């Protein structure tokens, strides 16, 4: 394996861990806004208040074990796939923003392989509200495997995740690179850490704005008691129509506000951790 890819795998793991530790509480609020029964909450602040009152502070970190372990692998795959995609598109390091968007889309498509099961377990953990029947992660995993198997259980929502990741990471990397290049014009190659944080935050905002309705569909599909059947595009379209029938067009954007707020520190931390680790590895390995 190319040593550059190994370095990207390692740096991606560090970035993924930073992302989860910083962003999990707001991710829990976002997911609950998407999947909670109608009328259970009045909005994001009510979700926060009820969660703290009924389940305690650490309930905001429900489902963190899945992404903390999984996102390290997911981000390793993502950043490595992005690096490989850039090298496939062009042998030269300075790609245009259009080429960056294509490389990001390719990386997102590869990323869905690991992202789908990680997201599925996270959503199902976050969809428990402190009742006596709440399950631990290992029980959720065991039950999904036992009842539905690999395809319908562990990989539930794969196609929605796949469709979501393509525009999401095209927007993510394009916005990050654009912002970073603007800072580089002023600071040169030694872009300060705060500028990396700001660039990462810009990428995070672009990620959600590029894909959010599909994220709502993904969460609902993964939270169902039974897996979706038939043509993926048909059931994705059917879920979109069901959301609009229940909550209007605004239903496709439930939980968007906490997602955008979360993306500022979480994506900033992800990219800063990745870039700092990557620079260290570059000095250590020479590539």
What structural domains and CATH numbers belong to the chain? 3-285 (1.50.40.10)
How far, in Å, CA of 200 to CA of 170, rounded?
14
Is 277 within 8 Å of 10 (Cβ atoms)?
Answer: yes
More confident residue, 154 or 171: 171
pLDDT band at 153 (very low <50, low <70, confident <90, very high): confident
pLDDT at 1: 66
How far, in Å, CA of 259 to CA of 229, rounded?
29
How far, in Å, CA of 285 to CA of 271, rounded?
20
pLDDT at residue 96 is higher than 90: yes
Query: pLDDT tens digit string along 30-64?
Result: 989 999 888 899 889 999 999 999 999 888 887 67
Q: Can you give the pTM of this predicted structure?
A: 0.84
pLDDT at residue 278 is higher than 90: no
Kindly state the tokens that stand for 189.
């190659």
3-class DSSP state for residue 135? coil
Query: pLDDT tens digit string along 208-236?
Result: 999 999 999 999 999 988 888 888 889 99
Kindly state the tokens that stand for 29.
């609020």
Distances in Å between the alpha carbon of 88 and those of 79, 97, 147, 177? 14, 15, 41, 18
Task: Give me the helices (H) in 36-152, please.
Answer: 44-55, 65-89, 97-126, 137-149
| Cβ-Cβ contacts under 8 Å for 100 (sequence gap 6 or more) | 86, 173, 174, 177
Residue of 219, 252, 19 whose CA lies nearest to 127: 219
pLDDT (mean) for 57-83: 78
């Amino acid at each position: 394996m190319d040593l550059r890819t190994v370095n990207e795998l390692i740096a991606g793991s560090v970035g993924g861990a930073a992302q989860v530790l910083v962003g999990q509480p707001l991710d829990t609020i976002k997911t609950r806004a998407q999947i909670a029964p109608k009328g259970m909450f009045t909005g994001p602040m009510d979700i926060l208040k009820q969660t703290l009152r009924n389940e305690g502070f650490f309930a905001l970190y429900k489902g963190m074990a899945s992404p903390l372990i999984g996102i390290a692998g997911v981000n390793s795959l993502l950043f490595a796939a992005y690096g490989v995609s850039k090298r496939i598109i062009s042998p030269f390091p300075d790609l245009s923003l259009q080429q960056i968007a294509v490389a990001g889309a390719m990386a997102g498509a590869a990323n869905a392989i690991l992202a789908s099961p990680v997201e599925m377990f996270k959503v199902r953990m976050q969809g428990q509200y402190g009742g006596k029947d709440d399950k631990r992660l290992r029980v959720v995993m065991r039950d999904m495997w036992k009842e539905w198997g690999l395809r319908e259980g562990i990989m539930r929502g794969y196609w929605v995740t796949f469709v979501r990741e393509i525009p999401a990471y095209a927007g993510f990397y394009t916005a990050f690179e654009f912002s970073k290049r603007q800072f580089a014009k002023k600071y040169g190659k030694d872009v300060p850490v705060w500028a990396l944080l700001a660039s990462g935050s810009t990428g995070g905002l672009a990620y959600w704005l590029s894909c959010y309705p599909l994220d709502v569909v993904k969460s609902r599909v993964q939270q169902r008691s039974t897996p979706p059947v038939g043509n993926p595009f048909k059931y994705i379209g059917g879920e979109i129509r069901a959301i609009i029938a229940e909550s209007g067009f605004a239903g496709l954007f439930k939980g968007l506000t906490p997602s955008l707020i979360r993306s500022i520190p979480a994506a900033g931390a992800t990219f800063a951790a990745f870039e700092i680790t990557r620079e260290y590895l570059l000095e250590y390995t020479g590539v």
